[in-house]
Structure 1
């Protein structure tokens, strides 16, 4: 990571090679004049920021070298500089521009051979001897470009997975908040209304109702605090979660006459599946408290029949006036459906023939 942030460190060996090549010591002219081609390499310092401009400047510098008898034999450094800009263009994805630079390199090499390689027994070999350098530069550019694309794709995939995980976590917490607060607030509001009506004729019932309100409110605060800890601390703060062992307390908290029937061994159920089953029962009871008449009775049945967990919550129609309408988010049934889908189960809801309502859910828990 440090090298990626300080790319100039990668260029140090390259600059060392340019310096070690040295100017052409043969020929006429002073050493200073013969060292001038080294100045043509300075644009390479900014080749990543201005790849096309630097490529044009390097080609212009190479042309100046190859058409000057004093500098013409400084070929090694010139060919290496042109290979570097060719590699840089291909790596950055400027293929068409790189192709035009490659043509310019070939033209310059042909011109150099025509002017200065006539003494050679094999001018053609002198010409093609430098081509592997430029072919390798192009191939390396393609390789590193593919590597950069792969790295970028992996980063995009990781970012997408992170966003999906965050969205899933937000959905999970929103579902938990809905189930906890909707149930608790419904119990509190209806018990408070009942206590208000019974305060003159049955003071003891008022005391029991207030106890239920206090207990439900404390439980709701504890659940809310736990969920907020999850938001701040992440995965480590997710426990403890409600379990099916607490169903009796949940049923008693409803303030209605609800029978509880649990068969099988809930201890073998994974914690996540137990939580989903608990929340489904909680939401079904919340709907019963909200919509069923005050004298309606209910039944909660949970059966453990590996690999399935069968849940059924029903309530009678009752004869009293319907309960006052309470605000609803409309997410209760959707939340139950999502929980069931997590375990490839089925959810069936609807009114009963003789009045009342039924919620039936199945979770498939495979080892």
Structure 2
């Protein structure tokens, strides 16, 4: 692993020397193209050929360091080749590399201009090299122009894919792009039907290609027409049945080598098939198709160009091999794009599920919180009201004043419960900017103890330490724990019981303790069970990082003790 890391570090250092790396890579290309072009053109054309060959390939040395300047030099010599030499060169591969470099490394305007110039130059070059002036005919010029246009688009597409891989790094620190919602919606609407009906689109494309490539052979060569249709028609299934369609095309290409004495325009279907295999077929089909197409390049060159010399045969082999590799590369880019889109769709689906689960969990948590609040408010208030009503009923005959006091306590407790209920329900109806009534906190513990004392329970408050302000959540938890504990005393401790509420303001936490001397242990072990009061108190304490213990005391009675740590910085 250490050697691998060292090698990776060395490669990383070389990436900083862009000009040196590109010059080293361009040197063998310059030498090979110059030798092949010089060997293919003898006599007085050789000096001009060497000049054009060097002018096309040498600027590749700064294709990344200065892509616009490099492309301008290459374009100048390419135009001179079209109007001065009237012949194709092996060095023309530099045009494709220049288009790639512009799309990958140059500004967007330069990339668009270079691709436009290359596509336009493909038509001029096809006519100049393969038309009547170049010893051919208009049909050959059209075919050559189409092939060179496809090559130019291939180079631009590969370069654009390289740019897209590096685009996230270049976007860091930029302002967000303007909203393109309407444009994206229009594009999606225009592309929806073709995506939903791939066979119809492919069949239409195959029919058009068959018409263009086989029309010149009608009436002149029945074998050429049949082979052309056999090559092109399977393209209608290039996405729906990629491997079988490629097998039919491969069989037709092998039959052409054996039966046809001329190269067919329909052979462009081989490139579309290689592309389709790389984009849509399984791995074994992709690799098999690429290997078979690469083997077919020298076989076709030997079959149709061997009579023109070894240099032309080698140039034709290299040219067709480059076409095959370019088609395969385009298919790989398309496959990677489709996989990326699928991954984005799957990620969006998972995020949607996660968002729904989070919303469901938040709703459940909110229902539990509301249930705890409802239990604290209703249970405490009703316990006080019931105790006061029972006491007032017995005291009404002998002590009317005590009965009136009990009714006052019932009225006050009911109003307080109504206020708490309105505040609680207000959370459910909360609108942006609305303000709720303040929730009770630890500062109101004396009022709570006094209200319980008025209900008839002998309760005493012992507070030690210096009170300090608490966050709303911690203060509410302290108030509710004491309130629920006293409510349990009222319900379960029995008559003539006494309770003590101890509040200790320690330096690091608030300690609460509620004890009574009644029969709380017996009530807790009754058939009704402990209920949800103690569970709710324990959850409140844990929510704020505290602890709560509850259970019977030695010698009788019941006790609840809680510790709520102060938040940091409070």
TM superposition score category, shorter chain reference: 0.7 to 0.9
Match of 1:243 among 436, 441, 455: 441
Partner of 2:548: 347
Distance 1:43 1:7 in 2: 24
Distance 2:391 2:460 in 1: 21
> TM-score, normalized by length of structure 1?
0.73
Distance 1:41 1:81 in 2: 9
Distance 1:237 1:112 in 2: 79
User: Is 1:298–1:316's contact at 8 Å kept on the other side of the alignment?
Assistant: yes
Q: How many residues align?
A: 337
Alignment of 1:209 with 2:406, yes or no, is yes
Q: Of Structure 1 and Structure 2, which has the larger fraction of its residues in helix?
A: 2
Match of 1:121 among 312, 317, 327: 317
Distance 1:114 1:12 in 2: 41
Alignment of 1:60 with 2:245, yes or no, is yes
* Secondary structure of residue in 2 paired with 1:277: helix
Partner of 1:294: 495
Change (3 A) 1:295 1:234: farther
Residues 294-333 of structure 1 mapped to structure 2, 5 A cutoff = 294-317=495-518, 330-333=531-534
Change (3 A) 1:41 1:9: farther
Residues 1-367 of structure 1 mapped to structure 2, 5 A cutoff = 3=184, 7-9=188-190, 23=209, 28=216, 54-56=239-241, 60=245, 63=248, 67=252, 71-73=266-268, 86=280, 98-99=282-283, 102=286, 105-106=289-290, 109=293, 113=297, 118=303, 119=305, 120-122=316-318, 123-233=320-430, 240-254=438-452, 255=455, 256-317=457-518, 330-367=531-568
Distance 1:345 1:232 in 2: 31
User: Is 1:195–1:205's contact at 8 Å kept on the other side of the alignment?
Assistant: yes
* Secondary structure of residue in 1 paired with 2:429: helix
Distance 1:67 1:282 in 2: 90
Distance 2:392 2:234 in 1: 93
Distance 1:114 1:143 in 2: 36
> TM-score, normalized by length of structure 2?
0.49
Change (3 A) 1:253 1:234: farther
Mind listing any 5+ residue stretches in structure 1 that lack a counterpart?
45-53, 87-96
Higher RCO, 1 vs 2 (CA within 8 Å, ≥6 residues apart): 1
* Secondary structure of residue in 2 paired with 1:187: helix
* Secondary structure of residue in 2 paired with 1:260: strand
**Aligned-CA RMSD value:** 4.3
Aligned-pair CA distance for 1:155 = 3.4
Q: Select the structure of larger CA radius of gyration.
A: 2
